[in-house]
């Protein structure tokens, strides 16, 4: 094995082990920031030693043992430096020593719990959404700062700073390293699911930049979701979210044309959908539904996605059912965006005029003012009822609002088509 082979192997080991390593260490040192530093130190040691010694048979245990020794060293050093922290240092050291003999066994047994604690820590509501995303991708997804920065099109120092601040905030607030219980669990779980879905959506339809989709980010989110589904198997909404992501991801390769332009659902070649992911999505949905209780917002969205997935052709789509599901979703989680989707479903089920009626109401909605999909949908419905002049204006407005280059091209194309349509449909004379 060459040095660069070993480095690639170490990267792979890190991706597999880092979250468990950090989670296990965080339980011992009770500080996520410190836990990550210790894990990083162990990684540095591996980078120094493995090219010579070869990758050990059990690399995870090697990293953990190394990190553990660093932790003890660090605590001893702190003890010497800061007498006032002596007590704390001793206490931690005692915990560590106690933990050492059966640490590996403990890590194995409790690893699920530790990981789940780490998930809740990374997505803690005292952190801003950006910070939650950055911390989750870094500590749970094993992404480097550079990878996260590239994924979200922000400068690397910005991401680094978000992570540093997030760790400091968690340490200062003395956020306990635990899984919340009872009512708090529901609220905190919502925050976790939101972070995962946000990462997925950024990959699925990038809000900015040149690419319409970034599949790697979708894969990261899916992996986080799948891990979460095994960590919290009794939470229906976790399975609902996984189902939603699996089904949406199944369309990834059908969603982009040869020059990177978006292809809308009705125009996609359904043979190009990833049917393995469709099946996985339907299975996850089944898991969510079998847990019983009222369907949550993610599960409802997954049911809607499943309606599309089950239709072999666009014409087979059960739009009336989808409209009813959006109605249920609107009652559960009212939002103008849900209303807009409901309008599309109504238009498909009962004709464009029906949808247009609802969309016209939404044009006065202040929160949708800068949302490019509102004029985009309105333009589509106006074109369908033959009001091309207004449709063109709406497509142009949508093009001006979107920050995604590929989407802008498509919208401008539709505006141009409306201009042609207008001439075609102009009454003679």
3-state secondary structure of 256: strand
Only segment of 10-18, 127-135, 296-304, 325-333 that touches another protein (CB under 8 A): 10-18
Among 267, 316, 357, 360, binds another protein (CB under 8 A): 267
Nearer Cβ to another protein (302/410):
410
Near another protein by CB under 8 A, which window of 79-87, 159-167, 215-223, 332-340?
215-223
Question: In angstroms, rounded to a whole number, what is the distance separating the alpha carbons of residues 278 and 260?
Answer: 23
Instruction: Decide whether 9 or 96 has the Cβ nearer to another protein.
Output: 9
Sign of CA dihedral 89, 92, 97, 98: positive
The two tokens of residue 376 are 């985009």
Query: What crossing angle do the helices spanning 103-122 and 59-81 adopt, rounded to 10°?
Result: 80
Beta-bridge partners for 404: 209
Using the rule CB under 8 A, give the single segment among 33-41, 69-77, 224-232, 313-321 that binds another protein. Answer: 224-232
As measured in angstroms, the least distance from the Cβ of 381 to another protein is: 11
Distance CA(31)–CA(177), nearest Å, equals 8
Give the DSSP per-residue string, 355-381. HHHHHHHHTT-GGGTT-THHHHHHHHH
Contacts to another protein from residues 229-258, by CB under 8 A: 230-231, 253, 257-258
Pick one of 30, 85, 165, 223: the residue that binds another protein (CB under 8 A): 223
Residue 45 or 72 having the CB closest to another protein: 45
Q: Please pick, from the candidates 153, 198, 263, 373, the single residue that binds another protein as defined by CB under 8 A.
A: 263
* Segment contacting another protein by CB under 8 A, of 7-15, 179-187, 191-199, 314-322: 7-15
Q: Is 227 in the site for another protein (CB under 8 A)?
A: yes
| Contacts (CB under 8 A) with another protein, residues 353-392 | 383-384
Tell me the residue length of the chain.
Answer: 429
DSSP three-state, residue 209: strand
Q: Cβ 324 to another protein, closest distance in Å?
A: 27
Report yes or no: 372 and 406 within 8 Å, Cβ to Cβ.
no
How far is the C-alpha of 363 from the C-alpha of 341, rounded, in Å? 14
Task: Determine if 312 is a binding residue for another protein (CB under 8 A).
Answer: no
Number of residues in contact with another protein, rule: CB under 8 A?
A: 37
d(CA 227, CA 200): 14
In the bound state with another protein, the residue whose beta carbon lies nearer, of 27 and 414, is 414
Candidate list 79, 93, 110, 261; residue touching another protein; CB under 8 A: 261
Q: Which of 33, 51, 89, 225 binds another protein (CB under 8 A)?
A: 225
Cα angle vertex 290, ends 279, 327, to 5°?
A: 85
CA angle (297 as vertex; 296, 301 as ends), nearest 5 = 120
| H or E element, residue 133 | helix 129-139
Interface residues toward another protein, by CB under 8 A: 8-9, 11-13, 15-16, 59, 112, 219, 222-227, 230-231, 253, 257-259, 261, 263, 267, 269, 272, 276, 280, 383-384, 413-414, 417-418, 420-421
């Amino acid at each position: 094995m060459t040095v660069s082979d070993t480095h690639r192997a170490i990267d792979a080991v890190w991706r597999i082990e880092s979250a468990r390593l950090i989670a296990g260490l965080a339980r011992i040192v009770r500080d996520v920031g410190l836990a990550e530093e210790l894990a990083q130190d162990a990684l540095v040691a591996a980078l120094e030693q493995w090219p010579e010694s070869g990758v050990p048979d059990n690399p995870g245990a090697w990293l953990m043992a190394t990190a553990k020794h660093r932790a003890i060293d660090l605590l001893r050093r702190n003890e010497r430096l800061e007498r006032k922290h002596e007590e704390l240092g001793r206490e931690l050291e005692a915990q560590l020593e106690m933990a050492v003999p059966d640490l590996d066994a403990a890590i194995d047994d409790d690893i699920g719990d530790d990981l789940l604690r780490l998930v809740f820590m990374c997505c803690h509501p005292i952190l801003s959404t950006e910070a939650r995303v950055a911390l989750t991708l870094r500590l749970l997804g094993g992404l480097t700062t550079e990878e996260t920065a590239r994924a979200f099109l922000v400068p690397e120092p910005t991401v680094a700073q978000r992570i540093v601040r997030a760790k400091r905030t968690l340490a200062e607030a003395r956020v306990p390293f635990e899984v919340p219980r009872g009512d708090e669990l529901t609220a905190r779980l919502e925050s976790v699911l939101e972070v995962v879905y946000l990462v997925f959506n950024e990959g699925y339809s990038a809000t900015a930049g040149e690419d319409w989709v970034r599949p790697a980010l979708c894969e990261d989110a899916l992996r986080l979701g799948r891990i979460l589904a095994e960590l919290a198997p009794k939470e229906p909404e976790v399975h609902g979210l996984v189902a939603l992501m699996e089904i949406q991801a199944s369309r990834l390769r059908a969603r982009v044309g040869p020059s990177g332009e978006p292809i809308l659902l009705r125009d996609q070649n359904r043979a190009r959908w990833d049917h393995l992911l469709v099946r996985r999505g339907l299975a996850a949905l089944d898991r969510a539904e079998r847990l019983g209780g009222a369907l949550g917002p993610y599960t409802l969205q997954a049911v809607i996605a499943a309606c599309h997935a089950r239709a072999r052709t666009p014409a087979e789509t059960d739009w009336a059912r989808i409209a009813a599901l959006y109605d249920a979703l609107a009652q559960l989680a009212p939002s103008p965006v849900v209303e807009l989707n409901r309008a599309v479903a109504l238009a498909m089920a009962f004709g464009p005029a029906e949808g247009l009626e609802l969309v016209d109401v939404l044009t006065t909605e202040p929160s949708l003012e800068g949302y490019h999909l509102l004029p985009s949908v309105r333009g589509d419905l106006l074109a369908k009822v033959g009001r091309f002049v207004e449709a063109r204006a709406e497509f142009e407005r949508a093009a001006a609002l979107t920050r995604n280059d590929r989407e802008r091209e498509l919208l401008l194309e539709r505006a141009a088509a409306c201009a042609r349509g207008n001439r075609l449909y102009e009454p003679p004379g």
